[in-house]
Amino acid sequence: MSDPTFELARQIIACPSVTPEDGGCMEIIAARLKPLGFVIEFINRNGVTNLWARRGTTAPLFVFAGHTDVVPTGPLDQWTSPPFAPEVRDGMLYGRGTADMKSSVAASVTAVEAFIAAHPEHPGSLAFLLTSDEEGDATDGTVIVVEALKARGESLDFCIIGEPTSVDTLGDMIKNGRRGSLSGTLTVKGIQCHIAYPEKGRNPIHEAAPALAELAATEWDRGNEYFPPTTWQVSNIHGGTGATNVIPGQLEIKFNFRFSTASTPEGLQQRLLGILDKHSLDYDIKWTLGARPFLTGRGPLADAATTAIREVCGIETELSTTGGTSDGRFIAEICKQMLEIGPVNATSHKIDECIALESLPKLSAIYRSILEQLMTA
């Protein structure tokens, strides 16, 4: 197959880049971008590679964001072909990172190359924000690039993240937002004692049960046009010594909210604490805000993406906020409009991860069409 997106994708898929390693991917990409007039800047920390490459100094600023790191391969003997030796079989390109998300990175580079060749004096600016710390802790990746950009007053007008958003066929779904994540560790205190003498103690499991039942039954919100209702789920629960004749002295419960723009972290915290207090529990709680929700409604970027997918793929796309979170949670702080648009997600993180060959030039064409619509006026 002779296609520039395929060739670049194959080149960077061959780079072993298990998080937080980049494996040389960004050097390859920087070498493609520099002759186009991009100013290359590496903002690295704690072994993580981060690339900020910008062409132009004026607004609007259009950014392609993504990551070059991949999840571990899993058992090598279960792969049909080596995960970092990309191979074509039956119309599919196999290798770790094909779907998530080296093919999207390659498509964004080739789209920009074609766009600049056709519009060398285009208005505004183009940029790439790439990291090797998305699949891991995400503490030294996109978040520190965003901090650096904020510190020097740079903001983004448009951003596309190439996460694998499609379900059955390229372009059938794109993400225009993601839910927030708020976790907590609740420790309910009791008094340990012999189980034959419950009057001498307080069983935190029994005391917490009615509160947990109320929390599980609570309607936190009803969602909105783009988001489903907020959910609250217990993920871990532990109490007791392991013995059958001891009432435990405490109960630890770990839980998580997945919430939309219909609620705030502060509001959810207050409501949960109100329920615990209503049940007169003696407790401690520690909170972790993993991500705030973000949303791009109908507007120039969403309209351009819808048009591009219709032109290239011949289908109507669906705007969705389902799924987990992404580095968009960091970029949203400095970006006006942001979408995630990428290939089919079916094999991400799996053994024999793959992408349809025909989707590679199409994805590049989608990205270029969006640029044509937004960056030539």
The two tokens of residue 37 are 């007039």
φ, ψ dihedrals at 98, nearest 5°? -60, -45
Q: Name the catalytic one among 21, 22, 133, 134.
A: 134
Q: Name the catalytic one among 21, 22, 69, 157.
A: 69
Nearest to 366 by CA among 315, 301, 307, 316: 307
DSSP state of 99: I
- The alpha carbon dihedral of 140, 142, 145, 149 has a sign of negative
Inter-axis angle of helices 359-374 and 4-13, to 10 degrees? 110
Residues sharing a CB contact under 8 Å with residue 233, sequence separation 6 or more, in sequence order: 255, 256, 258
Beta strand spans in the chain (E): 39-42, 50-55, 61-67, 87-89, 92-94, 125-131, 156-161, 173-175, 177-178, 180-189, 193-194, 231-239, 246-247, 250-259, 283-291, 294-295, 318-320, 335-340, 354-356
* Burial environment of residue 337 by CB neighbours within 10 A (0 to 12, 13 to 18, 19 or more): buried
DSSP letters spanning 101-169: IIHHHHHHHHHHHHHHHH-TT-SSEEEEEEES-SSS--SSSHHHHHHHHHHTT--EEEEEE----BSSS
The two tokens of residue 46 are 């704690």
The SS3 assignment for 370 reads: helix
Q: Does residue 133 have an active-site annotation?
A: no
- The alpha carbon dihedral of 146, 152, 155, 160 has a sign of negative
Q: Answer whether 318's CB lies under 8 Å from 174's CB.
A: yes
Inter-axis angle of helices 4-13 and 25-33, to 10 degrees? 150
Q: Does residue 134 have an active-site annotation?
A: yes
The two tokens of residue 109 are 């580079």
Q: Answer whether 95's CB lies under 8 Å from 87's CB.
A: yes
DSSP letters spanning 250-279: EEEEEEEEEE-TTS-HHHHHHHHHHHHHHT
Active site residues: 69, 134
